[in-house]
Amino acid sequence: MLPDPDRTRVSPDDPELSRLIRAERIRMLFASTVPVALFSGIFAVALALLVAPQMGRTLTMVWAGLCVLGSIMRVVHLSAYLGSRNRASPGWLTSLNVVCALHGSLWGLAGAFLPVQDMVTTVMIVATLIGACAVCTFTLQAHIVPSMLMNLPLLLPASLKLFTRMDAYGLYGGVGLLSLLALMMFESRRVERRTTELLWLRFTTDRIARERAEALKLAQRHSAVKDQFLATMSHEMRTPLHGILGLARLVHNPCPASWARSPKRASRSS
């Protein structure tokens, strides 16, 4: 069983691993900014045009304009992040939390002005807010804090507004939205922990592979040094060994002058 990532894998004992995990987590949080900002602006304008006859054109257009500004703010924040040389800085996560909270609050204004007596308009607005909540949970699943700061102001005003109906429909809708919000937060927490485990395994595996490659290079370097040493020693020892072997042969075998004076050599010559 894998150890608890909060206690073991992301610890001050390994600051390099913690930095890599934080940088990758921040990158994942920023990855879907452009499509989310684009569809956020489109659906805000579409919803405003749809409910303008019931809620008033001025109010809905102002709300849609604020949501579009929130989308532009997300894109500008992304541009600043991409242009930074220190993308692993914890400050990017802090600023993203602020941006997500502001963007969620702008969308949550639709729930704060919810016309609870008009069930058709209410259902359209609540359905749109639920869809936005699901998208936020999916795109911000790498960390629970920005997901929570986005979803809480997005759904909480609508759920509280539904309770003001003081009937079964309002109670059902308010409790349903709060239950959905709690479920989204639970799922975000679970996915965040799983993401931490996967990132830990990924970077640990990369580190092991890098260390093995470095160890292999070191072993190959040592082998080359050993081979060079043996070749050098073989060359340096060959000449004196030849001399020693020659002297040994001279000591072992008589020289030609002694052969001429030996009786056996003299009898052969006569």
pLDDT at 201: 85
Res. 11 pLDDT band, cuts 50 70 90:
very low
Residues 67-91: tens digit of each pLDDT: 999 999 999 999 999 998 888 888 9
pLDDT at 157: 92
Q: What is the pTM of this model?
A: 0.71
Q: Which of the four pLDDT bands, split at 50, 70 and 90, describes residue 152?
A: very high
Task: Select from 27, 140, 145 the least CA-distant residue to 86.
Answer: 27
Say what angle helices 144-163 and 168-252 make with each other, to 10 degrees.
Answer: 170
For residues 5-26, average pLDDT: 69
- pLDDT of the residue at 261: 53
Residue 100 has pLDDT above 90, yes or no: yes
| pLDDT (mean) for 139-151 | 91
Higher-pLDDT residue of 11, 26? 26
Out of 111-120, 148-157, 168-177, 222-231, least confident range? 222-231
pLDDT for the residue numbered 8: 43
Q: pLDDT category, 166, cuts 50, 70, 90?
A: confident
Q: What is the mean pLDDT of the chain?
A: 83
